[in-house]
Amino acid sequence: MSGVRTLLGLGLLVAGSRLLRIKSETIACRSGPTWWGPQRLNSGGRWDSEVMASTAVKYLSQEEAQAVDQELFNEYQFSVDQLMELAGLSCATAIAKAYPPTSMSRSPPTVLVICGPGNNGGDGLVCARHLKLFGYEPTIYYPKRPNKPLFTALVTQCQKMDIPFLGEMPSEPTMIDELYELVVDAIFGFSFKGDVREPFHSILSVLKGLTVPIASIDIPSGAGTQKMGQGRLGPYPPDSCPHQV
Amino acid sequence: MVTRSAFEAPPEWRARRVGGREENSGHPLPPGSVLKRRWWWRQRPVPRLTSAMSSAAGPDPSEAPEERRFLSTAEAAALERELLEDYRFGRQQLVELCGHASAVAVTKAFPLPALSRKQRTVLVVCGPEQNGAVGLVCARHLRVFEYEPTIFYPMRSLDLLHRDLTTQCEKMDIPFLSYLPTEVQLINEAYGLVVDAVLGPGVEPGEVGGPCTRALATLKLLSIPLVSLDIPSGWDAETGSDAEDGLRPDVLVSLAAPKRCAGRFSGRHHFVAGRFVPDDVRRKFALRLPGYTGTDCVAAL
Residue B207 DSSP one-character state:
G
Separation CA A95–CA A213 (nearest Å): 11
Structure-model confidence comparison of residues B63 and B239, the more confident one: B239
Q: Which residue has the higher pLDDT, B100 or B49?
A: B100
Q: Structure pTM?
A: 0.74
The residue in chain B having the minimum alpha-carbon distance to the alpha carbon of residue A97 is B295
CB atoms within 10 A of CB A107: 11
Considering only CB atoms, B40 lies closest to which of A3, A137, A168, namely: A168
Name the percent of chain B lying above pLDDT 90.
62
Give me the percent of chain A exceeding a pLDDT of 90.
56
The string of pLDDT tens digits covering residues A46-80 is 444 444 455 678 888 888 888 998 999 999 999 99
Each domain of chain A, given as residue ranges in start order, spans 62-216
Q: Does the beta carbon of B81 lie under 8 angstroms from any beta carbon of chain A? A: no
- Within chain B, what is the greatest distance between any pair of CA atoms? 86
**B91-109 vs A80-98: helix axis angle to the nearest 10?**
50
pLDDT at B101: 97
- Give the HSE-up count for residue B183: Cα atoms under 13 Å, Cβ half-sphere: 4
A173-228 pLDDT, tens digit each: 999 999 999 999 999 988 888 888 889 999 999 999 999 999 999 888 876 544 43
Mean of per-residue pLDDT scores for chain B? 82
Beta bridge partners of A182: A111
Residues A159/A138, Cβ–Cβ less than 8 Å: no
Q: Using the predicted structure, report yes or no on whether residue A127 has a pLDDT greater than 90.
A: yes
The answer to whether domain A62-216 has CATH 3.30.420.40 is no
Alpha-carbon distance B261 to B286, whole Å? Answer: 18
- Looking from the CA of B21 toward its CB, the CA atoms found within 13 Å total 6
A155: part of which helix (H) or strand (E)? Answer: helix A149-160
Our CA-based measurement puts residue B43 at a distance from the nearest CA of chain A, in whole angstroms, of: 6
Using the beta-carbon criterion (under 8 Å), do B278 and A161 form an inter-chain contact? yes
Quick check: B261 and B231 in contact, CB under 8 A? yes
- Give the domains, in start order, of chain B with CATH numbers: 98-278+296-300 (3.40.50.10260)
Identity of the residue in A12, A16, A179 whose CB atom sits nearest the CB atom of B171: A16
Give the integer Cα–Cα distance in Å for B116 and B192.
9
Residue of A nearest to B104 (CA): A44
pLDDT tens figures, A72-116: 999 999 999 999 999 999 999 999 999 999 999 998 999 999 999
Please list every residue in chain B whose beta carbon sits closer than 8 Å to the beta carbon of residue A89: 97, 100, 297
| B251-255 vs B269-273, strand pairing mode | parallel
Segment B251-294, tens digit of pLDDT: 999 999 999 999 889 999 999 999 999 999 999 999 988 889 98
Q: How many CB atoms lie within 10 A of CB B85?
A: 9
